[in-house]
Amino acid sequence: MNEIPLCVALVLCNEVIEDRRSGNKTLVGLFNNIGAANLPALHPRMFLFATLTGGIGLWPFTFRILSPSGAEVMRIEDKTDFQDPFIGHDLVIELRNLPLNEEGVYFVDLLVGETPLLHRRFTVKIVSES
pLDDT tens column, 17-59: 999 999 999 999 999 999 999 999 999 999 999 999 998 889 9
* Cα 21 from Cα 19, distance rounded (Å): 6
What pTM was estimated for this model as a whole? 0.92
Say which CATH architecture domain 6-126 belongs to. Answer: Sandwich (2.60)
pLDDT tens column, 48-100: 999 999 988 899 999 999 999 999 999 999 999 998 889 899 999 999 999 99
Q: What residue segments make up the domains of the chain, in order of their start?
A: 6-126
Predicted pLDDT of residue 62: 97
**39, 48, 99, 100 from 96: Cα distances, Å:** 17, 11, 9, 12
Number of Cβ within a 10 Å radius of residue 113: 13
